[in-house]
């Protein structure tokens, strides 16, 4: 095993813009395809509504506000090209009365009269309103229709946002559960090589970035791109020449976008790295606050954090500078497009080849056209953050540092394990790092009902030996046999369910004592819970606390002493009713009174059970049926306490070296 195996460095990554990462996210979208299809359908409807609004404005202008120029009656000379006429239906008595009043300015052709727009100021306001009553009615209808479009647009946007947000939340939930479950399945060596803060970043902020991808960016792809295509199509249909003039600016927009993506790509990635490093440093600071304050390292630690924070600040400023160039540049290009429309389209309006309504609609469409482009920076930021996060998430998901589980045998059933009869180490070797063996040729057996103690100096391999039994690690050579079968032939859950491990530093969750002791124990009755608490000598602590078993412990059980944490760990072992008990230095670093309570609880727990006890204080293992003495990864002596003392070997010297050892027995 290499020293750096399974350590993923933040800067050693592939291309942050590799779209293959997006394809790897496809399995997380499949269960929610129906929601995505609904969202796409709503996007199409929203796009149609957005495209319809400027067209309604065009109709209002061309039909009712400034109608296109009408031809004069055949009996009159041809008017100049710019002359416009108001057509009047003489079947309306009120309108006919006005025409008769101003017979000199009206041109009558059958049942229709026409008055030039230049002559309309000669009419009184009430008379003009009467003549243009049809236009006012038409404007009212179009305004009502426009209001309906606005309301529908709001409702559909709300529905689309809710559907997409719901789908994004579901996909983020699935991704986070997949990542969380995968982390729980990884071997312990992975967690010894990767900082906690970095892994927390994967499950929290990186997963949140994927949520932004599922919602904002996917919405951009299906909404803004469809809108851009629709606007281009409508503009070409209205006036293809003016549309082509407008599109002259698009190559500059494309060049600006490419330049932005080129400069922003590495910045976004650096920012993700800096965030992970800051989280790591902050997590280490909180976890090591006692040591930092004890050794007065606040200033040094602050300087190191300030350096990380300054690097993050510099990367953020680089991002701001890029955005400060790109966003105003897109705005300038949008204004240039409007200027081209006004220049070229204005000439067409004057020579009557383009209506004023079409020109106004073009201005509205071009502003709509640049709205998604202005959002490009934000969307690209989301995309790059999400892809950088996806890269790191898949680094974790691709990590295969997990203990292989046995394949289901041809018969379809794993070996049964009703009771642990024998545990045997058969020439077991183990190492964490290549070239540095921890255990060498370890051979012993532990039979049902037997208690074996393992002693030896620090670094002898005692904790490593006991960690192999619940298969937290696998031997690098040799075998561990359970009832005559290799431990690797059983699913881990089968034999771990029949074991309990009390560690030197027992880990407690930040819940109640009841949750720490009885979670996973099947919900004991009050009488059973009381029996477990009494057997573990925990009644004194429970009775002293204000809420008893329902007292909430701090993180890691920091509100109680180490000895009390050990008593809770022993109670947790009692609640599981295990067949095999594993103790790892369970009475280290505690006072003599608490040690006595723990010893009494351990004796009750080991009664009629198989036990393997790792101890530093030799006084705690005298009653063991057999004592294994380890040194430099090997078992060098084995026997009962009287036998080993009589042999006067390594164990004898260890015993004599301990304070208060007394005379040899």
Kindly report, residue by residue over 166-198, the tens digit of the pLDDT: 888 888 888 888 888 888 888 777 777 777 767
Q: Give residue 8's pLDDT.
A: 52
Query: What's the whole-number mean pLDDT along residues 565-587?
Result: 84
CA distances from 294 to 103, 281, 290, 298 (A): 104, 18, 6, 9
- Distance CA(425)–CA(634), nearest Å, equals 12
Residue bearing tokens 């071997």? 187
Res 580: pLDDT? 92
Over residues 557-572, mean pLDDT: 82
Whole-number pLDDT of residue 378: 66
The answer, yes or no, to whether residue 157 has pLDDT greater than 60, is yes
Query: In the predicted model, is pLDDT for residue 635 greater than 90?
Result: yes
The 10s digit of each residue's pLDDT in 423-464 is: 999 999 999 888 889 999 999 999 999 999 999 888 899 989
User: Which of these ranges, 297-311, 368-382, 473-487, 592-606, has the smallest mean pLDDT?
Assistant: 368-382
DSSP class of residue 108? E
Task: Calculate mean pLDDT across residues 47-56.
Answer: 88
Q: Give the residues across from 482 on adjacent strands.
A: 423, 485
For the segment 617-636, the average pLDDT, to the nearest whole number, is 87
3 state DSSP class of 190:
helix
Q: Residue 3's pLDDT band (boundaries 50, 70, 90)?
A: very low
Q: Check residue 79 and give its pLDDT.
A: 45
Q: What is the pLDDT of residue 589?
A: 57
| Alpha helices, H only, 341-459 | 346-350, 356-374, 376-397
Task: Tell me if 513 sits within 8 A of 426, measured CB to CB.
Answer: no
Question: Which tokens go with 218?
Answer: 């996917």
Contacts of 558 (CB under 8 A, 6+ apart): none
Instruction: Indicate the burial class of 408 (C-beta count within 10 angstroms; 0-12, 13-18, 19 or more).
Output: exposed
Per-residue model confidence as pLDDT tens digits over 79-102: 444 566 777 767 778 777 777 777
Residue 219 has pLDDT above 70, yes or no: no
Please return the burial class of 626, using the count of CB atoms within 10 Å of its CB with bins 0-12, 13-18 and 19+. Answer: buried
Average pLDDT over residues 514-529: 77
Give the model's pLDDT for residue 18.
58
Token pair recorded at residue 633: 């990864």
Q: 455 near 584, Cβ under 8 Å?
A: no
pLDDT digits over 98-153, tens only?
777 776 677 777 777 777 777 777 777 777 777 777 778 888 899 999 999 999 99
Q: Going from the N-terminus, what domains does the chain have, and what CATH number goes with each?
A: 20-62+138-397 (1.20.1560.10), 422-657 (3.40.50.300)
Q: What residues form DSSP beta bridges with 500? A: 581
Q: How far is CA 501 from CA 413, 496, 497, 507, 570, in A?
A: 27, 9, 11, 11, 9
Backbone angles phi, psi at 378, to 5 degrees: -65, -45
Angle of helix 225-238 relative to helix 240-247, nearest 10 degrees, comes to 130
Query: pLDDT tier at 316 (50, 70, 90 boundaries)?
Result: confident
Reduced to 3 states (helix: H, G, I; strand: E, B; else coil), residue 143 is: helix
Rounded to two decimals, the pTM is 0.65
């Amino acid at each position: 095993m290499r020293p750096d195996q399974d350590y993923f460095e933040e800067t050693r990554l592939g291309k942050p813009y590799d779209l293959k990462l997006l394809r790897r996210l496809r399995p997380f979208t499949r269960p929610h395809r129906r929601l995505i299809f609904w969202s796409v359908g709503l996007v199409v409807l929203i796009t149609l509504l957005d495209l319809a609004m400027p067209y309604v404005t065009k109709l209002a202008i061309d039909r009712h506000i400034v109608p296109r120029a009408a031809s004069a009656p055949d009996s009159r000379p041809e008017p100049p090209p710019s002359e416009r006429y108001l057509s009047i239906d003489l079947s309306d008595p009120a309108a006919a009365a006005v025409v008769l009043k101003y017979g000199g300015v009206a041109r009558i052709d059958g049942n229709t009269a026409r008055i030039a727009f230049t002559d309309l100021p000669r009419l009184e306001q009430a008379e003009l309103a009467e003549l243009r009553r049809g236009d006012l009615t038409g404007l009212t209808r179009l305004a009502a229709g426009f209001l309906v479009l606005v309301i529908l647009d709001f409702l559909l946007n709300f529905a689309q946002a809710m559907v997409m947000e719901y789908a994004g939340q579901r996909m983020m939930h699935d991704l986070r559960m997949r990542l969380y479950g995968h982390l729980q399945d990884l071997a312990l060596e992975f967690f010894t090589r990767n900082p906690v803060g970095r892994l927390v970043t994967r499950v929290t902020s990186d997963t949140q970035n994927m949520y932004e991808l599922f919602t904002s960016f996917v919405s951009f792809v299906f909404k803004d791109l469809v809108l851009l295509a629709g606007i281009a199509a409508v503009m070409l249909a209205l006036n293809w020449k003016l549309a082509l003039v407008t599109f002259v600016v698009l190559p500059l927009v494309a060049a600006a976008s490419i330049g932005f993506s080129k400069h922003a790509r590495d910045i976004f990635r650096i920012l993700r790295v800096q965030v992970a490093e800051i989280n790591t440093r902050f997590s280490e600071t909180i976890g090591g606050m006692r040591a930092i304050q004890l050794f007065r390292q606040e200033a040094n630690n602050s300087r190191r954090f300030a350096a990380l924070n300054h690097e993050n600040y510099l990367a953020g400023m680089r991002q701001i500078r890029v955005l400060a160039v790109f966003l105003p540049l897109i705005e300038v290009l949008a204004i240039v497009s409007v200027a081209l429309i006004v220049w070229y389209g204005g000439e067409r309006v004057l020579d009557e080849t383009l209506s004023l309504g079409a020109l106004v609609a073009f201005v509205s469409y071009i502003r709509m056209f640049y709205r998604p482009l202005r959002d490009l920076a934000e969307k690209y930021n989301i995309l790059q953050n999400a892809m950088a996060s996806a890269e790191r998430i898949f680094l974790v998901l691709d990590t295969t540092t997990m203990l292989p589980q046995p394949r289901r045998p041809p018969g379809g059933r794993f070996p049964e394990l009703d009771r642990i009869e024998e545990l045997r180490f058969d020439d077991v070797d183990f190492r964490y790092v290549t070239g540095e063996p921890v255990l060498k040729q370890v051979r012993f057996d532990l039979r049902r009902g037997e208690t074996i103690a393992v002693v030896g100096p620090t670094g002898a391999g005692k904790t490593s030996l006991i960690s192999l039994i619940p298969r937290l690690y696998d031997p690098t050579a040799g075998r561990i046999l359970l009832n005559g079968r290799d431990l690797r032939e059983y699913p881990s859950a089968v034999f771990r369910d029949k074991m309990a491990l009390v560690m030197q530093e027992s880990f407690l969750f930040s819940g109640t004592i009841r949750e720490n002791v009885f979670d996973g124990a099947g919900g004991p009755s009050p009488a059973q819970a009381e029996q477990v608490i009494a057997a573990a000598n925990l009644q004194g602590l429970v009775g002293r606390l204000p809420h008893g078993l329902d007292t909430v412990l701090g993180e890691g059980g920091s509100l109680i002493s180490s000895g009390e944490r050990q008593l809770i760990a022993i109670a947790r072992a009692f609640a599981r009713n295990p067949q095999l008990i594993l103790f790892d230095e369970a009475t280290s670093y505690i006072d003599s009174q608490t040690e006595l309570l723990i010893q009494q609880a351990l004796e009750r727990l080991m009664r009629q059970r198989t036990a393997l006890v790792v101890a530093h204080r030799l006084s705690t293992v005298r009653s063991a049926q057999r004592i294994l003495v380890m040194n430099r990864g090997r078992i060098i002596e084995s026997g009962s306490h009287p036998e080993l003392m009589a042999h006067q070997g390594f164990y004898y010297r260890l015993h004599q070296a301990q304070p208060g050892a007394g005379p040899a027995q």
